[in-house]
Amino acid sequence: MKLLGAFLTRDFLTQISYRSAFVLSFVGIFFRAFTFFFIAKLVGPSATPMLGEFGGDYFAFVLLGIAFNSYFGLGLNGFASSLRQAQTTGTLEAMLMSPTSVSRLIIGSAVWNYAFTTFRVLVYIVLGLALGMDLSQANWFPALICLLLSIVSFAAIGIIAAGIIMVIKRGDPLTSLVSSVSALFGGIYYPIDLLPDWLLPISAVLPITYSLRTMRKTLLVGAGFGEIWGDLAILIGFCVVLFPLSLWIFRLAVNRARADGSLAQY
């Protein structure tokens, strides 16, 4: 906990030193929320039949999709971004030469980002409530379990991306591709039922598909474990397989970079 606290303090002080960017990141939330608020008015009742399992409200559907997609974006890019920052500031080699394990360094480097993202998600939810989103039926405990599983599965993909960057020094094409595929097939802006049958297998291999479906069902219609157990089981499978694999891949990448002397190269 002392190590995580040190990472949290360091990254918090770094964040608030850029005050304009800190404030503008919240301004963007208001613009996105109001944009989809008015789009939802345009869509109107015509979307209700497609959103029946999520309560029928498109604004609530899309706002939760955008909010919780923040965790996916962070998982995908946050570890690679922290790695690149440590390389450019010259602190990566010093951290890796410390007695701290690689896995703890990876987790510590993301503590502030996840705390900040959680606060941003809460801002989305509060703003959504102010604009009429109904969470009166929300079942919070299953939603929390789903969120934790989602964070771990998303983080695993990001750690793999960070390991690739450690070796090839460029990971933008990979992360951009995964992000674009998830935006199109993951059900962020519309239910995946709109997709043709031959594209549904792509949605089936994306953890964000199961994450958003369970989050919406638990928060919007009060679904319990009995209704979401299938999606939760798949998320658990992602966590069990991907997270240990991601740490193993990252350790391999670090060892290779140490061997060829390219740790500080970027």
Please write the tens of the pLDDT for every residue from 108-165.
777 778 888 888 899 999 999 999 899 999 999 999 999 999 998 988 888 888 777 7
Residue 6 lies in a domain: yes
Longest CA pairwise span in the chain (Å): 61
Residue 97 lies in a domain: yes
Residue 121 lies in a domain: yes
Using CA of residue 192, residue 198, residue 204, residue 205, what is the dihedral sign? negative
Q: What pLDDT score was predicted for residue 233?
A: 95
Residue 265 lies in a domain: no
Residue 23 lies in a domain: yes
How many CB atoms lie under 10 A from the CB of residue 196?
A: 6
pLDDT over 90 at 7, yes or no? no
10: which DSSP letter?
H
Task: Report pTM.
Answer: 0.82
Residue 158 lies in a domain: yes
Residue 65 lies in a domain: yes
Buried b (16+ CB within 10 A) or exposed e, 216-243: bbbbbbbbeeebbeebbebbeebbeebb
- Residue numbers of the domain that contains 19: 2-260
Q: Look at the chain and report how many structural domains it folds into.
A: 1
Torsion over CA of 30, 33, 38 and 44, rounded to 10 degrees? -160
Chain position carrying tokens 């595929």: 181
Query: Which is nearest to 143 in space by CA: 240, 212, 65, 62?
Result: 212
Tell me the pLDDT tens digit for each residue of 28-74.
Answer: 888 989 999 998 888 776 666 778 888 888 999 999 999 999 888 88
How many CB atoms lie under 10 A from the CB of residue 99?
A: 4
Distances (CA, A) of 193 to 50, 175, 197, 213: 8, 25, 8, 12
